Structure 1
Amino acid sequence: MKNILLIRHAKSDWNNENLTDFERPLNARGFRDAEFMSSRLANKGLHIDCIISSSAVRALTTAQFFAQALSMDKNSLIQHRFLYGASESQYVEIIQEFDDSLHDIILIAHNPSISNVAHILCSQLELESMPTCCMIHIHFPLAKSWKDIQQHTGQLVSIEYPKLYTHNI
């Protein structure tokens, strides 16, 4: 069995024209949401083997919140430069290349690709586009290897995003 949590990076800052898209940091809401959602995930007690994140600043910062909340060591956070700007088929290829000794993985990246990948992996998904800092947990009960991950082989476990809990933030 394999599990993947697809997470869209938290809300980013668009105010600095001198930064490239890749360099954009989180804004105040992004920091708040990343802290809140990572804490929610940590409270579920799920075991996560590693976090694979786009190396873009906003995704990596989001990933660092999750790694800290889950008490993961720094070697468990892997930057994957190809997740920035990758197509949906490239995302699926990246997932299929995960080490099979890993069973529960977080993948943190960007819209629209990450939302589209969620739809490719799980036919039960009704959310059209992932809001910022959205977590979609997909379970693959028949997958012994990440190579077994194919279109619509995943089962939706949960969808959470900050605006569901706005009154708590």
Structure 2
Amino acid sequence: MKTLGIWRHAKSDWNDRSARDFDRPLNARGLKGAAIMGKHIAGQPIYWERIVASPAVRVAQTIELGSQAARINPQVRWDRRIYLASSATLIDLLREQDGDPTTILMVGHNPGLEDLIFDLVPDDGSSPLRDIVEEKFPTAAFAKLEIDIASWADLEEASARLVLLTRPRDLDAELGPEPVS
């Protein structure tokens, strides 16, 4: 069995309209969300053998702040293909992981990560957590999937179980949706 963690970067800052999308940093809410979620993820009873992540600034900051809060120093494999990737690209990236680790934590962006969950977890009504992701997979959200495969090369669509979903607001109500004015 393989375990895939999916962590969306925390809330980014849109104030500097001249900044490239790739270079956008986290905003104040994102700084708090990254720390809370990083500590939560590190507190799971699992060791992430491999962390693969987009090198975009907001992803790097999410990992850095989460790691600091959890007091860990993980080794990260930065992969530009994760930035703005489709689910198909993310599946290909997982299939080609060398050394065939048992656990992988992927950190990146929507809509690719959300679509990856939709493609891997069957849409057959058996997953209440998938239904929540269909409503929204917000910034800094974390999902854990279990997949009954011996090798990542065998990864297929509709082959995973979504066993955990944590959103920042689940840990701190202040990180919930902003009120509509």
Instruction: Sort the Cα spacing of 1:39 and 1:95 in 2 relative to 1 into closer, same or farther, 3 A.
Output: same
Letter in 2 for 1:105: I
The answer to whether the 8 Å contact 1:50/1:106 transfers is yes
Q: Provide the residue aligned with 1:27 in structure 2.
A: 27
The answer to whether the 8 Å contact 2:86/2:111 transfers is no
SS in 2 for 1:60: helix
Letter in 2 for 1:135: F
Distance 1:4 1:135 in 2: 10
SS in 2 for 1:25: coil
Pairs within 5 Å for 1:11-22: 11-22=11-22
Q: Provide the residue aligned with 2:143 in structure 1.
A: 136
Distance 2:174 2:18 in 1: 34
Letter in 2 for 1:13: D
The answer to whether the 8 Å contact 1:6/1:108 transfers is yes
Distance 2:153 2:64 in 1: 27
C-alpha deviation, 1:166, in angstroms: 2.4
Q: 1:110-134: per-residue Cα shift (whole Å, max 9, x none)?
A: 1111101111111231121310000
The answer to whether the 8 Å contact 1:51/1:63 transfers is no
The answer to whether the 8 Å contact 1:100/1:145 transfers is no
2:109 paired with 1:110 = yes
The answer to whether the 8 Å contact 1:50/1:102 transfers is yes
Q: Provide the residue aligned with 1:119 in structure 2.
A: 118
C-alpha deviation, 1:72, in angstroms: 3.6
Aligned-residue RMSD, C-alpha: 1.7
Structure 1 residue runs of 4 or more that deviate by more than 4 Å after TM superposition: none
C-alpha deviation, 1:145, in angstroms: 0.5
SS in 2 for 1:86: coil
The answer to whether the 8 Å contact 1:23/1:56 transfers is yes
Letter in 2 for 1:85: L
Q: Provide the residue aligned with 1:4 in structure 2.
A: 4
The answer to whether the 8 Å contact 2:36/2:171 transfers is no
SS in 2 for 1:44: coil
Q: Provide the residue aligned with 2:170 in structure 1.
A: 164
TM-score normalised by structure 1 residue count:
0.91
Q: Provide the residue aligned with 1:94 in structure 2.
A: 93
Q: 1:13-56: per-residue Cα shift (whole Å, max 9, x none)?
A: 00012210000000111110010011112222321112111111
Distance 2:99 2:66 in 1: 22
TM-score normalised by structure 2 residue count:
0.85
| Structure 2 residue ranges without an equivalent (≥5) | 176-181
| Structure 1 residue ranges without an equivalent (≥5) | none
